Amino acid sequence: MLRGTTLSSPSALISIDLVAALHLVALSAAINKMRVAVALCVAIGCGNAFVHKPASRLHYSSAAAAAVEDAAPAEPAPAAVAEPAPAADAADAAADAASLKAEIFAACAASDRGFAASAADRANIEALLEEIAELSPTANATAGLAAGAAGAPLAKCWRLVYTSASDVSTLGANPLAALGGIYQDARDLPVITNVIDLTPRALQNLPPGVAATVGTASRLRVRTRARPRGAARVGLSFERVEVEQLSVLGRKPPDWLPRLGVDLPQLGLDVQRRVFGVSDEAVDPRDADSNPAFFDVTYLDDDFLVIQQGSPGGMFAAIKVDDLAD
């Protein structure tokens, strides 16, 4: 244990460096293997279908983003599409949404993005998310997705402020890795990249000045390709998993150091038809109701996104940020 260690000599710092480095190597390998295994398992089940999850006019700054620092039904119904509202009603809805977002952000910050949430906390946050869903100003969340249009409603970098999804929540309990920023980068549609920043948990026991000196961080990227399955439903398919070193012992790795990654196999449409029980040749199995590889957009405006994951289920809330953290 590093807690209580007296850092009175260079050798102590070197030991901490070595421990941090070993933790990072072990962590990167474990996370990579875990994600690849999960992706391969789902790829076998979902093939080319996506095999994984993911306001008002008020604008929230990057400082606000930092303040709030990740089994579907057999035949889930697509999310309801919001109907356009008269101007006066829209103004009232925007004001109500702004008030709800303030409550949501405060609750998410208090629960560490859901990782420290009690059952009561989750019930409160998700009740607020369901309430704000009724006020979504975006009627067609998937507009421009397939063509990768620059003005597509989803085409932003989103930073997680809350999740109840088990596949992400369990990462918060990892004894070796501490979670940093968690993102859904949709700026290059139809590609959507899920990003998770990680640091060795042992570094949290060090004084801030020392931790900054020996800081070590890695970034996990899961690249998917999005496919509109309705006005509010986005189908996903895993394409590649990568691990990138952001820093090693307080130093940025050289630019020539490649990312570690693996391309994921894709199954043909005929195999997917058998997997999802699609007998109608006119139905694309990637769009079948029995295919759980999707997320539904329940709320979307210029700054705030709420989605419901198909499988393994769970809600995500995220705010717009300019870019991934350095």
Assigned token pair, 149: 């249009």
The secondary element (H helix, E strand) that includes residue 99 is: helix 87-110
The answer to the question of residue 106 being in a domain is yes
pLDDT higher than 50, residue 121: yes
The answer to the question of residue 111 being in a domain is yes
Q: 241 or 82, which is more confident?
A: 241
Tell me the residue type at 288.
A
- Region 246-254 average pLDDT: 88
Most confident of 23-37, 43-57, 132-146, 261-275: 132-146
The answer to the question of residue 3 being in a domain is no
- Region 239-243 average pLDDT: 96
Cis status, amide bond into 73, omega within 30 of 0: no
Domain boundaries, position 281: 10-321
The answer to the question of residue 1 being in a domain is no
- Note if the pTM is more than 0.85: no
pLDDT tens across 299-316, in order?
999 999 999 999 889 999
Q: What's the number of domains the chain is made of? A: 1
The answer to the question of residue 178 being in a domain is yes
- Region 199-219 average pLDDT: 83
- Angular region, 114: left φ>0, alpha ψ -120 to 50, beta rest: left
Tell me the residue type at 228.
P
DSSP string, 35-98: HHHHHHHHHHHHTTS-------S----HHHHHHT-----SSPPPPPPPPP--HHHHHHHHHHHH
- Region 253-264 average pLDDT: 90
Q: pLDDT above 70 covers what percent of the chain?
A: 73
- Region 194-218 average pLDDT: 85
Confidence of residue 43 (pLDDT cuts 50, 70, 90): very low
The answer to the question of residue 326 being in a domain is no
Lowest mean pLDDT among 70-79, 119-128, 158-167, 228-237: 70-79
The answer to the question of residue 5 being in a domain is no
CA atoms within 13 A of residue 219's CA, in its CB half-sphere: 20
pLDDT of residue 57: 33
The answer to the question of residue 123 being in a domain is yes
pLDDT of residue 216: 87
Q: What are phi and psi for residue 253, nearest 5 degrees?
A: -65, 155
Instruction: Check: CB of residue 154 under 8 Å from CB of residue 145.
Output: yes
Lowest mean pLDDT among 203-207, 208-212, 229-233: 208-212
- Region 226-245 average pLDDT: 96
pLDDT higher than 90, residue 110: yes
Count CB atoms within 10 A of the CB of residue 44: 13
